[in-house]
Amino acid sequence: MKRFLSITAILALATVLGAADIYVDYNKGNRKNPGTKEAPLDILARAVNKAKPGDTIYVLPSDKPIRDAIVFRGKSGEPGKPITVDGMNNIFLGSRPLNPKEWKEIKPGYFACTRKIGNNMANRYFMTLKGKIHRMGRFNKCKGSKSFKKIEELQPGEWTIIRGELAKNAKGKNPAYLQQYVIRLPEGAKTPDEAGFEEPILRRISGVDIAKNSSHITIRNVIVKHFHNDGYNFHGNCRNIVLENIAAVECGDDAISAHETCHIDVKNFVAIGCSTAICHINNSENHHENVYAEKILGRDIMLTENTKNTLTNAWFKADAIGGFILTSRKTSHHRSTMKNVRMINRNPRGSFAVSNQGKMDADFEDFKIANYKKVHPSLASKVKQVKAEEIEAEIEEARKRLFAIFGGQLEKALGE
């Protein structure tokens, strides 16, 4: 008996056969290699350039953090044939040791360099000292961030920025200034590298950076840490962006942020120690399922303007000074739907707020919060205010469950 494949089956088989696996090894790869598992490429950018719709890029496990980012600029898959990056739970690190060619001693124990940079990015700057982040009390998205110290106020192991004159030919809403970055060495250290100082790589501002109308892209099994701006950042008109099993640790601004008309779908997301956990703006459309966050500084959740958002299954140890906020402007229509959310506020200033000047549809189901002293009247009837002990165990169980996805690598990123 003869059997014939249907046209659909033939097309599906052709799709599978046409897809390729591309391998990257930051320890043993070579730029001249073809990208096979036996002969991997050396960096992710070469694999992205090589990838075609339907291909999967694997970043082979590294025994040390990878000082690189995942970047797509106008590179796309196709419907049913996304370009996939599997980070294999590697830690992508956005910081580097201070460059001794840039940093000069200005007096015993003090080193400095001068850069041309706008205040917006200077405000997101931080340093790490022997792997521990030092923000100097600074964060974004709400009031309460500390001012930069004067040089004479620095204690051992601290840093500051002194803004100088406007840079030549500076333009735009965020013009560049000549800014002096200054550190004071810890006791006993003679140079910044001996002390163990690192700073964010200023030209590589986000851990996953997708822009310029890139579409049909899947990112999975990735941990990003210590990036100057966001952990995961999306600009332009990027559509069909899928993120699975991802984490952002101690980034300068948002753990994840979508702008303009981007559409993203996120499943299994952990945010630790960033300025904001989730911040979406403009006309973006964003869907999150299974989210855990803690040690956030500025705002736990900030959703603004014409965004359309769904948040399903989320657990927050809500530490941010600015708390939770939904906003709409006079000409905007904000839409957010949230289901099965638990938030224990651990910051006495954190509020549960709305700033509504336009039209807002906020639909909550099974949303429980604890310890918020201030809840906006328009939201008070939509959430159930409970005692912290009623939801503590559920939040801790969710933490364990989501951490387990990363096979111990997330604990490693946190130094636990």
| Percent of the chain residues topping a pLDDT of 90 | 87
Does the pLDDT value for residue 56 go beyond 80?
yes
14 pLDDT band, cuts 50/70/90, is: very low
> pTM higher than 0.85 for the full model?
yes
Does the pLDDT value for residue 388 go beyond 90?
yes
The per-residue pLDDT of the chain, averaged, comes to: 94
105 pLDDT band, cuts 50/70/90, is: very high
- What pLDDT, on a 0 to 100 scale, did the predictor assign at position 2? 45
* CA 410 – CA 67 distance, rounded (Å): 16
Range 123-133 average pLDDT: 94
- What pLDDT, on a 0 to 100 scale, did the predictor assign at position 5? 52
Residue reference for tokens 């130094």: 415
Range 69-89 average pLDDT: 97
- What pLDDT, on a 0 to 100 scale, did the predictor assign at position 6? 55
Does the pLDDT value for residue 216 go beyond 60?
yes
Q: pLDDT tens-digit profile of 326-365?
A: 999 889 999 999 999 999 999 999 999 999 888 999 999 9
Burial (0-12, 13-18, 19+ Cβ within 10 Å), 75: middle
Does the pLDDT value for residue 15 go beyond 70?
no
